[in-house]
Structures are given as C-alpha cells and as structure tokens.
Amino acid sequence: MSETKKLTYIDGLKGTGALIVYLCHFAYAFYFALYSLNPANSHTAGNVEVAIGKTPLNILYNGNFAVQLFFVASGFVLCIRYFQDYDRKRLVKSAAKRYFRLAGPILLVSTVIFSLMKAGLYQNTEAAALAGSTDWFAGFNNFEPGYSHALREALFGCFLFGHNYFNGVLWTVKYLFLGALLVYALAAVCGQWKYRYGVYAILLLALLRTDYAGLLLGYIFCDLMYTKPDFMKKLAKIPGLWLVTLVLGIYFGSYPSIGTNLEGSMYGFLPVLSVLYHRIGAALIVLAVLLSERLQRFFGGQDAAGRNEAKASGEDFLLTSHKRKKSGEGLFVRLGKISFSWYLVHFPVIAVFSSAFLLRFYGLMNYHVLMLLNFMLTTVIVWVISAAMTKWVEQPWNRLLNKIWK
C-alpha cells in the first residue's frame, strides 16, 4: 500500500466511534434510563429505554465501548508506515509531533468552553433537572472557571493526568498521547525482532485492565496485517470466522455500562467488568473488519469498481480495500475524517445548545417530539462546527507541523 493512501475502513471505524460517543452523551443527558436502567428515569410508557438498555441495541450509544473502538483503531494507524519501510526516524518524528498535533485543537476548544462558561451559557444543570439526568449531566462544568485553569488542563493536565474539568471527553487524551508514545517505542525497540510477539503478550497482560491496552491491541493487529499477511489471509478464509468474531464483539461491546440492574438479561450472569468487556468487544469487531471484505465495504464505503480492481490485480484484499472513489465515501468515513474535532466539540454543544433548547421549549410540545427536533438540530450544529474546525484549524495545523518536522 502506498504511503499516501489510507485504509478507509479504519477511518470508518473511528467515525463510528465518534458517532456513538455523541449518541451516548445525548442519550444519557435526555434519556438517562438508557444508561441507569432505572424505571424512575424513564420517559416512555412501558419503560422502553430500560428494555433497550438491556439488549445489544445499547451498543448504538455505548460510549465506553465506542472509546475502546476509537483506541484500537487509533493504535492500528500509528505504525502503518513504519511496518512498510521500518524507518525509525519516522517514528521519532511522529512521536515529536504527537503532543502538538493534539494540543492545538484542544487548546482552541478549551478556550471557547471557558468563554461559554464565563458567559453563563452552560445550562446543563438546569436541563438535567427537567430531563431526569441530574445524577450524570448536572455535574459537568459546575464550577467557577478560570482561564489559567483551562490552560493548564489543555496544555498538560489532560495529557499527563487525564484532567477533564472543562471538557469531559479529555480524559482519553492521556491514553491517546502516552499510549501512542508507548506504541512508537515498542515498534522502535522490537518491531523487527523475531520474538516480539512474546513481548506483546506480556505487555498486553500487564496492561489489559488499563486503557492503554486498546492502543496496544490496535498496534498488534497492524503488525500482523503488514508483516504476516499470509496468516491474516488464512484466518480470513476460515468459513464464518469473521461472523462469529463480529457477533462476540457486539455481545461484549454492548454490555451495559452501568453494570447493575441486569437481572434477567443476557448479561446478568457475567461478573461486572464493564470496561474490560468493552475493550474485548472493540478488539473483536476490529479483527472481524480486518477479516471481512463485506465489513470493510460497510465501514469504508468501497465501491464495486475498487473491489474489481483489487481482484483483477490479484492483490490481497486486506491491503487493497483503500482503493475506491472519493464519491463513494460512506457516512462513517466522512465522520472519521472529522472525528477528532467532532469528539472535542460535541459535548459543549450538548451542554449549551441542546440544554437551552430543552429549557426554552419544555412543556410546549410532547417530550419525544421536542427531543427529536433537538437531536436533529444538535447533530447539524456539531457536524458543521466539526467540519469547519477540521478544515480551517486541524488540517492547517497538521500541515504546519509536517513542515516543521519535515
């Protein structure tokens, strides 16, 4: 695969993760029973939210699973180029740029959040009281903001300690930063060593209960795909393996995050290890995608022309599904391209706009109609801001960094 080309289905997986995190936060804010599984929080007759929350359908808004999916997909892409040319200098450059690449957009969004808080526009506490989500939604950004505090969080607090006082999603940055450095170091030290898989296994066992494991799993998948393509091809040819892997991934990935009130559900017999199940589920789903051309088309939007091109050339489908027309891009790929900006801005939009919309129109129409309108408008706003930020902030910033570390 050319250095300049990307596996579009990995972009699609990242976009899927970003979308699910957004759905999670909107659902938890305004339909809290989907998370709590407590009928007292339900807005529907018959407690439909509780019923949904106890089935695999909750994977559609399971934020913890989505974050793990994002970690695995991110770990996969970190060393693709290294496994093509084994250029350690590239790893050093990537590691050097990592902090600055993340810090620029984070600082901008944190500054905007500080300004919104200072102006008194965060109304999530009041909205939570109406929506019945006080136990979760009301606690965010409920303090007197100071810009020095916002700066500390954006420039090093979230990177080293996972601080997320201003932007609740920033707890993941610690793992996206330090985890990436771990992966780069691992590739540099033993990426060509014959017995490196033993090191991977030991390290994975040591980190399995931490969020670094997701990035490590993604890195291992990348290593296998690029250095052991014959092995991956054999796995892909085992009848039904991708489907079994996918079903198991959905089962573990959809384990309810609350971990309680699961009596009588298909999860009730499992020990309460929510995050571990979500990590396993995410890894299994990524593996299923790597093994299945059908899933690669689903997440990557590959068109028939691209598939025929791969088959006609005799190339391994695992390495050629990036060949496709831009016009054939699917929703998940488009989301993947703006996923980092989407991830950073969606929660402030929910806490400010969605909350204000609820407060303004509550009681004037049916709650579900109100929330449908709210969701549609919020989604458009998040998409527009994310696309603009990607185009006018993130991409120019990355180009500048590439010039500096050319």
Structure confidence by residue, pLDDT tens digits, 193-227: 999 999 999 999 999 999 999 999 999 999 999 99
More confident residue, 343 or 319: 343
Residue 259: CB atoms within 10 Å = 16
Neighbours of 129 (CB within 10 A): 13
What is the token pair recorded at 82?
A: 């290294």
Categorize the per-residue pLDDT at 375 as very low, low, confident or very high, splitting at 50, 70 and 90.
Answer: very high
pLDDT of residue 7: 84
Residue 30 burial by Cβ neighbours in a 10 Å radius (0-12, 13-18, 19+): buried
Q: Measured between alpha carbons, how far is 399 from 118 in angstroms, rounded to an integer?
A: 32
Q: pTM of the predicted model, to two decimals?
A: 0.92
Choose between 2 and 47: higher pLDDT.
Answer: 47
Confidence of residue 302 (pLDDT cuts 50, 70, 90): low
Indicate if the alpha-carbon torsion angle 174, 81, 400, 344 is positive or negative: negative
Instruction: Name residues whose C-beta falls within 8 Å of residue 313's C-beta, 6 or more positions apart in sequence.
Output: 320
Non-local (6+) Cβ contacts of 289 within 8 A are 9, 13, 295, 296, 299
Q: Which of 35-49, 72-86, 277-291, 322-336 has the lowest mean pLDDT?
A: 322-336
Rounded CA separation 106/177 (Å): 13
Segment 286-297, tens digit of pLDDT: 999 999 999 999
> From CA 60, how far away is CA 110, in angstroms rounded?
28
Whether 79 and 88 have beta carbons less than 8 Å apart is answered as no
Token pair recorded at residue 57: 């359908």
Taking the CA of residue 21 as centre, how many other CA atoms within 13 Å lie in the half-sphere pointing to its CB?
29
**Confidence band for 324, pLDDT divided at 50, 70 and 90:** very low
* pLDDT at residue 406, rounded to an integer: 80
**Arithmetic mean of pLDDT over the chain:** 92
Task: Report d(CA 358, CA 370) in Å as an integer.
Answer: 7
